[in-house]
Structure 1
């Protein structure tokens, strides 16, 4: 495993590899867990070498306190990656290496995808995501890039980004990796107390209940059911629950047999924000 901290040296190293190797890419913000590792293992299975970036991107945070408290565990991350079998290259840059003199974002038109759910609650978030992912894609120039479905809206945004920027990269979405209690694995889980970790399973349990009742229950009644479940929980505060069209991410008010739907939840355990989703049909 080789670690690069500067894009120029990484670009130079990869320029030789591109001539003979298929390159997979897994962008992360560090604080790696088994969910990340599952993405990297899949990438290693399907490519000759894999680049893993570890970078906490400041432009996708709309809350400066959240950015400051986001877990940074580079040493542990490197130790975890060293255990993997296969050729892994790590890109571990400083902010200045990616943004140089100006920490600014590019404004994108994602065709409405960015206006739903997370876009409603995190101003500018997806412009920040698009900006950094585009920068990373142009540095690494991978054949394939891997993203987890926990951030399903982000996955759809990245697919749109590749189209907008006309990049020859295949985007692969990978299943959500879960804790034993069902909670979607997230770097933010490390900040939860034992009690919060236990109570946060309401997110997964509620999504499962919605999935089980989806065919026989109206969307309005499912919305009411979810609100009631969270009102009964003294630890978790619901920010939003939405059933949306999987392709457009538009909020659904009634069902159409020809459409695929997915349920999305964002909730707080204290000040820690957690998200999850689940396909319904």
Structure 2
């Protein structure tokens, strides 16, 4: 980003780690708290909800926009990811702005270069063993390695007091909280990594995602099938039926939608995982168990060429540090 001409903005734009560290040093001298929202751009209402939470709780808020190559496998089209910097900045300005936007380039974040093929990568990377191989990690084996690496770099530069991630990416949030604990990070401390409930389309409850822009009009009509399947599984689980029955009925629902959709649909997975270990829950799991430790009900669904993810919490979301749904910020 730093090598490109930047759009005009009322928000200070920090284009490399040095300028961001200088900005942070000034805040440190004033003893101000710093909230941080890490994004890959293409901002939507879900991102802005994270920003609002940060603005409410902190003296200063900084947002990063960086499309991280290490999160994309070789077969995934990095170049196709939406890049909408002017629109992103306007969206931030419309909610009253933030105190800074960090816009590093690839060379800034990976000084010695980066390739998408893990086997060809050289240098230092961060991996959260076990956590990164469950749930989404089963389908995208190197994804969380890329996430943990870039977020560690961002935390090192921004040194945030508090950080905010969305529940839609619940595994990412819990994995990063574990990473903060394992690496003894002070900025942020693990307890200051906050999870904000998923923002959904008001008409059909589709989880908001930058990737929704890939959907055709016909695909969009059936894109909420995953949410509906997870809701069905949750209802089945709460009646006391087994995990296997929950999954079977929800998969059957997706198959029935697929058979009448008129567009290509393929279910990747629907699964229940322990919220502490992220390991798959067995049929012997009971509601008594998740009274103190919630279960993650999650899934991934291909609609056309777009891969959608979603999740619901079985149990009390507050036990995972998930914040209240909405905040009001005066602008």
Instruction: Check whether TM > 0.5.
Output: yes
Rounded to whole Å, the distance in 1 between the matches of 2:136 and 2:27 is 37
1:244 aligns with 2:273: yes
Is 2:149 aligned against 1:131? yes
Using the TM superposition, give the Cα deviation of residue 64 of structure 1 relative to its aligned residue in structure 2, in angstroms. Answer: 4.3
Of residues 237-246 and 99-108 in structure 1, the stretch that sits farther from structure 2 once superposed is 99-108
Aligned partner of 1:179 in structure 2 is: 201
Counterpart-to-counterpart distance in 2, 1:127 and 1:152: 16
The 5 Å alignment of 1:91-240 reads 91-103=102-114, 104=121, 106-168=124-186, 169=188, 170-180=192-202, 181-216=204-239, 217-234=241-258, 235=263, 236-240=265-269
Cα distance per residue 1:37-91 (max 9 Å; x no partner) = 0000110000111110000100011144432211111111011111222542101
Higher mean C-alpha displacement, 12-21 vs 265-274 = 12-21
Question: CA separation in 2, counterparts of 1:246 and 1:194?
Answer: 35
Q: Which residue of 2 aligns with 1:13?
A: 23
Return 5+ residue gaps in structure 1 as ranges.
Answer: none
Q: CA RMSD in A?
A: 1.5
> TM-score normalized by structure 2?
0.82
CA distance in 1, matches of 2:302, 2:90: 30
- Contact 2:66 2:104 survives alignment (8 Å): yes
Q: Distance in 2 between matches of 1:230 and 1:159?
A: 32
Equivalent of residue 289 in structure 2, options 254, 258, 277: 258
- 5+ residue gaps, structure 2: 1-10, 115-120, 316-331
Secondary structure of the 1:159 match is helix
Distance in 2, Cα, partners of 1:65 & 1:263 = 26
Task: Compute the displacement of 1:134 (Å).
Answer: 0.3
Offset, 1:208: 1.2
Instruction: Summarize the Cα distance change of 1:27–1:195 in structure 2 as closer, same or farther, 3 Å threshold.
Output: same
Match of 1:232, SS state, is helix
Are 1:77 and 2:88 an aligned pair?
Answer: yes
Give TM-score, length-normalised by structure 1. 0.96
Contact 2:71 2:145 in 1 (8 A): yes
CA distance in 2, matches of 1:63, 1:267: 20
* CA contact 1:44–1:86 (8 Å) conserved in 2: no
CA distance in 2, matches of 1:101, 1:108: 16
The 2-side partners of 1:86 and 1:118 are apart by 33
Which whole-Å CA distance do the structure 1 matches of 2:18 and 2:43 have between them? 25
Cα deviation, residue 14, structure 1: 1.3
SS at match of 1:198: helix
| Structure 2 CA distance for aligned equivalents of residues 59 and 139 of structure 1 | 18
